[in-house]
Structure 1
Amino acid sequence: IFLLDIADWNNIRWFECMESLSKIVGKQNVHFAIRQHVKGRSMAFNETDPDSKPFSEFGEVLNYEEAKKHGYNMIKVLRYAVRSDLAESIEKVLIDTQQNQRKHSDEKDHNVLPDLVTTSDIPDRVLIDRPGDVVHFFPTTWGKDNMSSLRCAVSRAIQAVGREANLTVFTDFSSFGAGDESGRSEIHDSYPIGLLHYKIVVVAQRDFHEGHFRLMEALIGGALVMTDPMHPLPYMLEDGKSVVVYTSLEDLKAKIRYFLEHEEERLAIAGRGFEVASTHHRTWHFMERLVFGRWSYF
Structure 2
Amino acid sequence: MLDTSHIPGPSLPTAPGVGYKPQHFAAILEDPGAVGWLEIHAENYMGDGGRPIAQLRALCDRFPISVHGVGLSIGGERPLDPGHLDRLARLVRWLKPASFSEHLAWSTHDTGFLNDLLPLPYTARTLARVADHIDQVQEALGRRMLLENPSTYLAFAETEMAEVDFLTELVRRTGCGLLLDVNNVFVSATNQQVDPVAYIDAFPLDAVGEIHLGGHDEDADDVGAPLLIDSHGRAVADPVWALYAHTIALGGRKPTLIEWDNDVPDWPTLRAEAARAGRVLAGPAPAGALA
How does the TM-score come out when normalised to structure 1? 0.28
Higher alpha-carbon Rg? 1
How does the TM-score come out when normalised to structure 2? 0.28
Larger fraction in strand: 2
